[in-house]
Homo-oligomer: A and B are copies of this chain.
Amino acid sequence: MAEQTSEPLWLTDEQLRDWQSLMALLMTMPPALDAQLKRDSGLNSFEYHVLAGLNDHPSGRLGMSELSAYTRGSPSRLSHAVGRLERAGWIERRSGEARCVNAHITEAGRRKLVEAAPAHVREVRRLVVDRLTPEQLTALGAAARLVVAQIEPTWVDAIAHRTGGDC
């Protein structure tokens, strides 16, 4: 009932249109990527991301906490997912120093990823990269970074420096 009229409450037509377009993107794109991955390799986006994160690190391993930050999954979500991947033989858990547990990608895991990646990249191209001019893609990326920076201020470093490691 009591509303603050001091600030403009609603959005202009253009803002609304662009916002709805963004919402449409948020609603359609993850399912599209998930569908491709699931169909072609049986992985979901999160699991793919976990494997990719491990594979990208020279050591092929990462502490659960670092991996959790990298994938932006809650510790619990990660733990469940790693459990599945471990059961499939693509990851091994080994406890490291301190209280840490390291997730190691196995050879089978690397093979799985190498097998899954090309089709995934192809899909990313088809849906996004090839759809936009270089300038549009640049603008999209820049805008995305600004919004993400607002939501999650710590992230910019995280990816930029790739500073994480095992424990």
Contacts and interface: CB of A to CB of B under 8 A. Distances in A.
Given A29-B151, A152-B28, A132 B143 contact: yes
Contacts of A129: 11, 15, 19
A100 to B, nearest CB: 24
Given A25-B144, A28-B72, A121-B9, A19 B128 contact: yes
This chain: copies in complex: 2
A22 interface: yes
A83 interface: no
A147 B152 CA distance: 24
Interface stretch (A88-96, A102-110, A133-141): A133-141
A129 B132 CA distance: 22
Contacts of A9: 118, 121
